Amino acid sequence: MEFQSNLKSKLPKTGTSIFAVMTALANEHGAVNLAQGFPDFSCSTKLIELVNHYMKKGFNQYAPMPGLMSLREKIAIKTEEMYSAKYNPETEITITPGGTHALFTAISAFVEENDEVIVLEPNYDSYVPAIQLNGGRPIFFELKYPDFKVDWNEFKKLINHKTKMIIINSPHNPSGTTLNAQDMLKLQKMVQNTEIIILSDEVYEHIIFDQMEHQSVARFPKLAERSIIVSSFGKTYHTTGWKMGYVIAPTNLTAEFRKVHQFIAFSANTPIQYALSDIIDDKELYLNLNNFYQEKRDYFQKLIKGSRFKILDCQGTYFQLLNYSKITQEKDVDFAARLTKENKIASIPISAFYHKQIDNNVLRFCFAKSNETLEKAAELICKI
Ligand SMILES: Cc1ncc(COP(=O)(O)O)c(C=O)c1O
């Protein structure tokens, strides 16, 4: 029975996300799942106890719309310590139910009919549908395989009077590359004297390797004044299922962001905000995250060194790209499906992150896994 047989979709080209598809396939075939980006180990027991504590104490009703003040104050201090940037917790920091919500809200708050939004491909899959649902036009800039660097001279050609927003993401999912200070300075220069808003997806800010420093837009005052920064507690505290994040932006941008946030979610989980406000004092948890994941990256790379895959450079995030040209010329979606079914190892084909499904024979593997899982996965990978 159908209510409207010709129901018009607002996202006609959007299917089920590749993450859901590959995870379902992995479950169906009992494969080791390095597809979806989530840790398979536990978060801090102290954090769980804190959430428990605040729930039992009765902090179970709506939090203030912009978020718990004590948490926002601590984020302000942390941001100043890390990026030498001052933000007012009252008017410039908002707690959100996750990074994805924050991205959607930011795009909804600013993108109007026919506005152009530049996105760098490959990209995280929530940006484009959010732009389209708001009537905007995604303008794609391709990061070229294999180094995925931005050619800023080429990039500049996409900017015109219709450009409302540029979305950047560093450290970058899925490529594992990062934007350096030179990149940020070039971007800063390019947008000066324009009205362009930068939406900076920095959910992997603490997962950056080899002594590199994360170049937050917050470090660059002329960029920061036009930027909305998105962070995710899920990535930082191994709690992706809690869907908690925050947004930092100058007062005028935050005011517009909150106008939309209050009607999409109103506020974020109360007891978890209290718990995060306590745990954030333990600086080691986020300052050590880069070492924690660098060890995992190095271990995973060592385990698969003898395989027929080519290991690509991984500067940040918890994703490792592997090129399989030496094994087969199959399409990446087909190869990823076959590996899941036959070899019992699930990954994500990179073509899924491009609107034109560009295929460079590359798969993405998530190494946010216990050493035991990585060993099992590596054994399977080495047999391919
Ligand atoms: C680049 C990027 N941005 C945003 C998010 C979403 O963060 P959250 O889980 O807090 O919604 C993810 C999650 O995978 C991501 O990879």
CB 256 within 8 A of CB 107: no
Q: pLDDT tens across 227-239, in order? A: 999 999 999 999 9
Binned at pLDDT 50, 70 and 90, residue 44 comes out as very high
Q: Point out the ligand 1 atom lying closest to the alpha carbon of residue 123.
A: 1
The mean per-residue pLDDT over the stretch 273-286 comes to 98
Residue 40's pLDDT band (boundaries 50, 70, 90)?
very high
On whether residue 224 sits in a domain, the answer given is: yes
- State whether 261 and 378 are in the same domain: no
In this structure, are 308 and 352 located in the same domain? yes
In 3D, which of 103, 76, 100, 107 has the Cα closest to residue 89? Answer: 76
Q: How confident is the model at residue 1 (pLDDT cuts 50, 70, 90)?
A: low
CA distance linking residue 210 with residue 214, whole number of Å? 11
Angle at 17 between CA 13 and CA 18, to 5 degrees: 115
CATH number of the domain enclosing 33: 3.90.1150.10
Q: Is the minimum distance from the CB of 124 to ligand 1 under 6 angstroms?
A: yes
Residue 141 lies in a domain: yes
**pLDDT tens track for 50-89:** 999 999 999 999 999 999 999 999 999 999 999 999 999 9
Q: Which atom in ligand 1 lies closest to the alpha carbon of residue 317?
A: 16
- Classify residue 193: in a domain, yes or no: yes
- State the distance from the centre of ligand 1 to the C-alpha of 239, rounded, in angstroms: 12
Q: Tell me: pLDDT of 335 over 90.
A: yes
Residue 102 lies in a domain: yes
Claim to verify: residue 165 and residue 39 sit in the same structural domain: no
Residues 34, 103: one domain?
A: no
Least confidently predicted of 11-25, 186-200, 222-236: 11-25
Global pTM reads: 0.97
Any domain includes 52: no
Over residues 102-115, the mean pLDDT reads 98
Residue 330, pLDDT > 70, answer yes
Task: Note the pLDDT tens digit of each residue in 121-153.
Answer: 999 999 999 999 999 999 999 999 999 999 999
**Residue 171 beta carbon below 6 angstroms from any ligand 1 atom:** no
317 lines ligand 1 (CB under 6 A): no
Q: Are both 267 and 133 inside the same structural domain?
A: yes
- Side-chain-facing half-sphere of 66: CA atoms under 13 Å: 23
Ligand 1 centroid distance, CA of 7 (Å): 30
Checking if the pLDDT of 4 tops 90, the result is: no
In a domain, 6, yes or no: no
From 95, 179, 207, 235, give the residue whose CB has the most ligand 1 atoms within 8 Å, as the site to mutate: 235
**Residue 178, in any domain of the structure:** yes
Ligand 1 centroid to residue 235 C-alpha, Å: 8
Mean pLDDT across 260-271? 98
Q: Residue 350: helix, strand or coil by DSSP?
A: helix
How does pLDDT run across 351-375, given as a tens digit for each residue? Answer: 999 999 999 999 999 999 999 999 9
Alpha-carbon distance 9 to 129, whole Å?
A: 12
Residues 321-349, mean pLDDT to the nearest whole number: 97
* Domain of 354, in residue numbers: 18-43+287-382
Number of domains in the chain: 2
d(CA 175, CA 177): 5
Rounded Cα–Cα distance for residues 162 and 155 (Å): 15
- Residue 76 pairs in a beta bridge with none
Backbone angles phi, psi at 84, to 5 degrees: 50, 40
290 has a pLDDT exceeding 90: yes
State the distance from the centre of ligand 1 to the C-alpha of 232, rounded, in angstroms: 7
Note whether 272 and 298 are same-domain residues.
no
Cis peptide before 89 (omega within 30 of 0): no
Q: Are residues 212 and 183 in the same domain?
A: yes
